[in-house]
Structure 1
Amino acid sequence: MPTSTDFSHELELFRTEAEGALQFFYAWNAIHEVAAHDEKVQRLLNQAPMLWNTSLGALQASTFVALGRLFDPDTKNHSVTRLLARAHSDLSMFSKEALAERKRNLSPNADEWLPEYLRTVYVPTNEDFRRLKRHVAQRRKIYEANYRPLRHRVFAHRGVSSRDEVADLYAKTNILEMQKLLVFLRRLHETLWQLYFNGHRPVLSPARYSVKRILDQPSPNPQRAALQERLVTDVRAFLKAHSQCA
């Protein structure tokens, strides 16, 4: 049975993996999207095409390698499977008593406000985790059908060699679908973090995922925006600023 400390560590490892994959892909996607609609940015990139093509290729490869780790069904590896298995195997770590102890460790005056706080705390059930596992199963099915073959046969291991074979694998992928997969993983981490540290009901909150939509309608409060929104905004600001001198 995992200890609370084990789960906290697993949760943090999952965060770094999920955020890494998201950052790799959204940086790659945002560079392409901004350049496609701005001739000055295109000229900037064309000043050092080999550098930018190398960087874009590295971002793309890193995305697929990270996705493979995240959706690995083996619980021996630090994947979404392992994270949910650890959480579901010991629901006592989400009890009000366990949460109160975590709050006391973080706040010296916790006992002054804990009784009132604990009245609104949600204690998860087996069904909560079965529901989250169903969400993961739906996304894993998409990953295994459309992205795992490309990851295994092109990025992790060179199993195909002809351009036509590679093109056939890419034909199964979809930009919006990939965005949804990556943002889902980030939302799942946030859901489990809020449950573990704040006692919030484990419900997946909506989040924007379309790079085009983020560029067309920036967040009114960038500092509080989701990670993918902040990254897309940074990419555009950087490219726009430097393209003025291109």
Structure 2
Amino acid sequence: MNILKKELKQGLKPFLFWLAGIGFLILGGMVKFTGVQGAGSGSMSDILGKIPKPVLAIFGMSEVNIESFGGFFSVLQFYALIAVCCYAVYLGTSCVLRESVDKTYEFLFTKPCGRLHILSIKMISGMIYLVLIIIMSGVFSYMAPVIYNIENTISAEMILFPAAMLLISLFFFSLSMALSALFTRSERAVQSTYGLLLFAYALSVVFDMDTKFEIVRFLTPFKYFRSRELVSGQLNVVYVFALILMSGVLLAISFRAFARKDLIAA
């Protein structure tokens, strides 16, 4: 319990920093929707119609109508998803590497507890903060239309966005833990994990550019739950189980690798 309290205390400031960023993104971003509404029907569509589809894909706007609340909200949620996944990678790498990077491993891993027990507590701490930031993201999402007096036409479907965010970010959390445990050097682990996240985002852009790239969908978790599906109240069950399974496997790999990891070499 003392280790958990210590981990939660150490993670509080980064959590508040990321929470402020997510809150600004969602609450501040929703202000733009009032401008879209005021622009008049069809005017925004005319503007977007002149923008190349690859550019729209980069900003997550290629398959939704941002003149509707659901479409605009889904774009904001895509940005929030990217941010939360980056935070998940930070949490996952911190679980495994913090003491090795700070050269304080001898103060924690010499306690009368097994290293896997300590890693379990650190993982729980990371998951607590990950779940909290997703819950708060959902709270901000419901607050935004109320604050700006916007008609919420997807109030029932909005809950699917934090659900999808949790599954995808948990995958990247598990991936970052696994790579951090497998790699000898901490720098390579961090670079590789963020590199894979960037690669997944790039594939999501390719996927949105043309229907002929449908084959790459299973390679990028960012497209396991498409915006238009979530707005329509659909959560792809196949990808739900796929993400849970992959996350479980990656966590098992991380614990197995961490049991043999040379903490001094990190």
Same fold (TM over 0.5): no
Taking structure 1 as the reference length, the TM-score comes to: 0.28
